[in-house]
Amino acid sequence: MIVVTGATGALGRLVLAGLPAADTVGLVRDPAKAADLGVPVRVGSYDDPASLAGAFDGADKVLFISGSEVGKRVDQHRAVVDAAKAAGVPHLVYTSILHADTSPLSLAAEHKATEVMIREAGIPFTFLRNSWYTEMYAPTFQQAAATGSFIGSAGEGRLATAARADYAEAAVAVLTGTGHENKIYELAGDVAWSYQDLAAAVADVTGKAVEYRNLSSAEHRAALTEAGLPPHVVDLLVEVDGNLAGGALVDGSGDLSRLIGHPTTPLTSSIAATLGR
């Protein structure tokens, strides 16, 4: 039996779609949101360790999708790891972040801590270290298509994103395959792109000229703040752009395309899907 945590989330749903329903269970916080999953569900919350007691009983493999509440995830993840250890889970597959052990991104700290606690728990593991989802840039695609321009502070830095479906397919390959215990996979798109490349790709999809306006970090922060974005989002966007030049979201291992057995989704395909073209 395979248990998928975060089953009602966007990634969880895609993973469930690729797994045999008869041998899969979804772990959810709100069963009302799980009626359409097509698999049996168990109820449990990362915020409530007691609710996770028994959540993984009988599991051969667990896909542990990381929590989304930055700043709370070490304690939340500890609850999951403790429950998996208590249940004797033979194989825990965790969705981490690209180069979690060396990444300069502040988001990596909680993932690094989680990887450490999984190792210390002695549970056979697979770490799926995901780069950014291309879908995270959907608002940028839409803005660029609507206005003909977008801003950032990445200079000529590059990042290698992949579609959420690519990462889901990789998780399915690990969950349904063999020989993945105690392995780390650095998962990223086959082609790294810059914001200049993004402008050209949106232009190619829409047939309209698109310009990327590069700002200093201070100018970028001021523009995002003026646009009304929450401070923590502003901090993240400026931080990420500042680290792209150093390759924080680029990896040349090819692990993702090897796991899924085909090239990762091209940037233009994701842009076209977002814009309905």
Most distant pair of Cα atoms in the chain: their distance: 57
CATH number of the domain located at residue range(s) 2-130 in this protein:
3.40.50.720
Fold of 138-158+191-251+263-275: UDP-galactose 4-epimerase; domain 1 (3.90.25)
Query: Over the chain (277 residues), what is each successive 10-residue block's mean pLDDT?
Result: 97 97 95 93 95 94 94 94 97 98 95 98 98 96 96 96 98 98 98 97 97 96 94 93 92 97 98 94
Which segments of the chain are extended strands (E)? Answer: 2-4, 24-28, 41-43, 61-64, 92-97, 125-130, 149-152, 158-159, 183-187, 193-194, 211-214
Query: What pLDDT score was predicted for residue 181?
Result: 97
Helix (H) or strand (E) holding 108: helix 108-121
Integer Cα distance of 53 and 74 in angstroms: 18
pLDDT tens for each residue of 142-163: 999 999 999 999 999 999 999 9
pLDDT number for residue 277: 86
Ordered by start, the domain boundaries in the chain are 2-130, 138-158+191-251+263-275
Q: Hunting for tokens 């914001």 — which residue is that?
A: 195
